[in-house]
Structures are given as structure tokens and as C-alpha cells.
Amino acid sequence: MRRYSAFAIAREALRHHTGWNRAWRSRDPKKHYKVIVIGAGGHGLATAYYLGKNYGIRDIAVLEKGWLGGGNTGRNTTIIRSNYLQDPSAAIYEKSRSLYETFSQDVNYNAMFSPRGVLMLAQTHHEVRGYQRTAHANALQGVETEFVGPERVKEIVPIINIDGPRYPVLGALWQPRGGTARHDAVAWGYARACSGMGMDIIQKCEVTGVRSDGGTVTGVTTTKGDIACDKLAIVVAGHSGHLAGMAGFRLPIESVALQALVSEPIKPCMDCVVMANTVHGYMSQSDKGEMVIGGGADGYNNYTQRGSFHHVEETVRALVETFPMISRLKMMRQWGGIVDMTGDRSPIISKTPLGNTFINCGWGTGGFKSIPGSGWAMAELVAKGEPGPLAAEFGLDRFREGRFIDESVAAGVAH
């Protein structure tokens, strides 16, 4: 793998850009791999990357039924933050945020991580108390956040209306080191680095069955034939229930649609991310100038990657109230992704009832921010067969034992 650098750009400029290689190899699957990862979204690719980097396991195939990053990893609104309430969440999301800080150097691919700051508005007294509590919890967890008053909010985001008719802004939880990154680049960067370590990234290869012998996995059936493996990692977000069915177990997960939309590009007007959980909307501005907007998830099971229009309407209504200047903006594109929702709104990184089979799912509406940390923790689980400290609390057994990691109150809106 040729390194990307300023020097490489200069060199290629001199020879009419004839020397760039493909970012990752495409090939047909081998008969056997030590580890098969199902799903080439960010979490699957990060799992493969850290298996190679941290544990020296490189005989790996990542199987993807569509194209790389075509799932939620390429559909999200790229908010990165780690201001969660519960300790296990703060640990893994903060690990992830800190890995994003060095991602571009580490994988040698520019993911344009932009720690522009994330502001979560408090618009009810209940929310004020909730976020004050989160700020205290974050202080104990070593996550840098601050509860700020309405004047400071107006200073950070001059275009905001803090005296809204329904829900005036009473304050906000401010995480200055949160921000955004380029989602495709995260998938592409990991894929290129995995390919560089000798792993196979196989697109248009759908897993249609999981084969096992005596309660232990032996391989998978795919649209490109049977492939054997010693260990299997299922990392397919919205399709987790479907894959778990193939592997013979059930999950506490429902798959629903979550939508986002972007406006026509305008001049720079907002240099941080603002989330308004009470009114159900959030917004940031992309480098191209588009306002990137998201809101609440649909309430019913759906695999179509299309959502209901009234949710878009609800989101836009909320944001026009919060940012009156956007009321004349045209919306250019709108899309949906299928997100995997668990009962306590926290993810699952776990062993499964099938031997040597591991699952990483349940990131729901908020798993872009966690891609590096989740891959890190999942790689440890797959390599050692037992979860390390980051993953330990996120096992499937927590539902039986009632050890929920309840973030549904801390994050009222999808992001």
C-alpha cells in the first residue's frame, strides 16, 4: 500500500496522476478464513482493522452484501460526541472520540475529523437538571463537558433563537471536543488499511446462511459460495435480527427507519453542531455549506430505507423555530437508514449462543461516533473470546440480569 502524503501528491502531479493505486483490492473469497466479519460498515471494518493492528490476526474476510459503507455508515449525519450519562457508555464513546482525533494519521486517510463542538440544548427544566447531572457525571468520567447558560449559547451559535415561542433555550450541555467527520472516508480509510494488511474486502457478497457443527460455527453460505471460518463476527446493524435468525438465536432488537436531509448550500453560518432533543431536531453545516439535518426515528419495523414524511416535517418545524433564518432554505436531498434499536438504547458487543460467534449491534441512531471504539472493543472480544473492559458491560446477558445501560433518557433524540 502506497502511503498518501503531500510528497505523493507532488510526485503524482508531475506524472499526470498515473501512479495512484486502487484504495483496496477486490477479489473472490478464499475457501477458508480465520475470521469472517459480516458487514462492511464502519463497525465491521474497524473490527477487522483492530484485529490486524492490535492482535496480528490478518487472515480475515469482510463480507458485504452491497457496497462498502452503503449501510448506515454512509447515511448518517456524522455527529461525534461522548457526553453520555452512564459510565460504560462514557468509556467506550470517549475511547472512540479520542481515536477519531488520530484516525487520519493512524490509517493514513483523511477523515476530516472536525472537533467543532457539540451543543445539546436544554429547553425544559427537566432537561436542565438532566444535563447538569450529565455534566457532573462526565466530570467524574474524565469527559470534558460543561453546562452553559443561554447567553453563552447565543455566543456560540449567533443564528439561534433563544426566546423561542414554545421552548425558550434555558441552557445547554457543551462538549467542545465533539464534532463531525466525513463518514465515507471512515469506511474507505479502514478498508484501505485492512486491504493493506492483506485482508479481503468482498463486496456484493450476501451472507444467506450460517453453518455450524455441534453448537460451534464452521462457516457461512453466501451468494459467492460457501466460505469456512474459525470465528464469525456479525456486524450488520439493521439486519442483525435477520442474521441472528440464521445463526439460531433471537435478539432484543427492532429495526426502524431513521431519516436525514440536507439543504441547498449557503455561506458559513454555524460552526458547531446543535441538537434540540425536546423539539426533535439537530443541525450542523457541512464543508460544502449544506445544512445537515436529522430528527426522530420512525416507530414501526421497517427494512425499506425509507421513512415517513411527517417525521421530516416535525424535524423541520422544530428547527425553523430554533433557527428562524433557515425558514426559506430549500431542502435538496432526503434519505433513510435502518437502525437497530435495543430496549435500553445501548449497544450489544457480545458472545452469542453459537460457539465462536460474536455480535456487535444495537448502535441504533448513534453509532457513527462509536466506530473506532466499538471496533477496538469487538476486536478484543473476537481475538480473546472474552470481552475486555470496554465491552464487558454490553453483553447480551444484561437483559436477563436487568443490568441495563439506560441511555434512553440521556439522549431523547436520534443522532
Partner 1 sequence: MLILQCPYCGIQCDETELAPGGQAHLKRHGPGSSDEDFEAYLFDRDNPMGVHFERWRHANGCGKWFLAARCTTTLEVFGTYSAQTTEPPAEIADRIRARRPNWEGRT
Ligand X SMILES: Cc1cc2nc3c(=O)[nH]c(=O)nc-3n(C[C@H](O)[C@H](O)[C@H](O)COP(=O)(O)OP(=O)(O)OC[C@H]3O[C@@H](n4cnc5c(N)ncnc54)[C@H](O)[C@@H]3O)c2cc1C
Sites of contact with partner 1 (CB under 8 A): 239, 241-242, 245, 250-255, 299-304, 306, 308-310, 343, 399-400
Among partner 1, ligand X, none, the one that 41 touches (CB under a kind-dependent 5 to 8 A) is ligand X
Q: Nearest distance from residue 219's CB to partner 1, in Å?
A: 22
The entry of partner 1, ligand X, none that residue 254 binds, CB within 5 to 8 Å by partner kind: partner 1
Site string for ligand X, 118-157 (x = CB under 6 A): ----------------------------------------
Residue with smaller CB distance to ligand X, 63 or 162:
63
Q: Residue ranges of the alpha helices (H) in 56-172? A: 87-101, 103-107, 125-141, 150-156
DSSP-derived pairing of the beta strands 348-351 and 331-342? unpaired
Positive or negative: CA dihedral 81, 83, 86, 92: positive
Q: Is 211 or 306 the residue whose CB approaches partner 1 more closely?
A: 306
d(CA 210, CA 200): 19
Non-local (6+) Cβ contacts of 230 within 8 A are: 33, 34, 35, 356
**Stretch binding ligand X (CB under 6 A), from 24-32, 38-46, 314-322, 377-385:** 38-46
* 77 interacts with ligand X by CB under 6 A: yes
Contact set for ligand X, span 167-206 (CB under 6 A): 206
Contact between 410 and ligand X per CB under 6 A? no
Least distance from C-beta 174 to partner 1, angstroms? 34
- From ligand X, partner 1, none, which one binds at residue 164 (CB under 5 to 8 Å depending on kind)? none
- Smallest distance from the beta carbon of 206 to partner 1, in angstroms? 12
List the grid coordinates of 179.
Answer: 464534532
Instruction: Choose among ligand X, partner 1, none what residue 190 binds, the Cβ cut-off being 5 to 8 Å by kind.
Output: none
Question: Where does residue 386 rank: exposed (0-12), middle (13-18), buried (19+ CB within 10 A)?
Answer: exposed
281 binding ligand X? (CB under 6 A): no
- CA-CA distance, 113 to 99, in Å (whole number)? 10
- Based on C-alpha coordinates, what's the Rg of the chain? 21
For ligand X, which is the closer residue by CB, 162 or 323? 323
* 377: nearest Cα among 253, 241, 235: 235
Interaction between residue 62 and ligand X (CB under 6 A):
no
> At its nearest, how many Å lie between ligand X and the CB of residue 205?
6
Torsion angle of C-alpha atoms 86, 166, 178, 371, degrees rounded to 10: 60
CA distance 390 to 381: 10
Cα separation, 346 vs 147, whole angstroms: 24
Q: At its nearest, how many Å lie between ligand X and the CB of residue 143?
A: 15
Question: Out of 178, 295, 337, 372, which residue is the one contacting ligand X (CB under 6 A)?
Answer: 337
Per CB under 6 A, 63 contacts ligand X: yes
Helix boundaries (H) for 108-239: 125-141, 150-156, 183-196
Cβ neighbors of 171 (< 8 A, separation 6 or more) are 121, 122, 128, 131, 147, 148, 149, 150, 153
Which residue in 121, 181, 207, 349 binds ligand X (CB under 6 A)?
A: 207
- Partner whose footprint covers residue 77, from partner 1, ligand X, none (CB < 5 to 8 Å by kind): ligand X
**Residue of closest CB approach to ligand X:** 41
Interface contacts to ligand X, rule CB under 6 A: 38-44, 63-66, 70-73, 75-79, 206-207, 235-237, 239, 243, 258-260, 294, 337, 339, 363, 365-369, 415
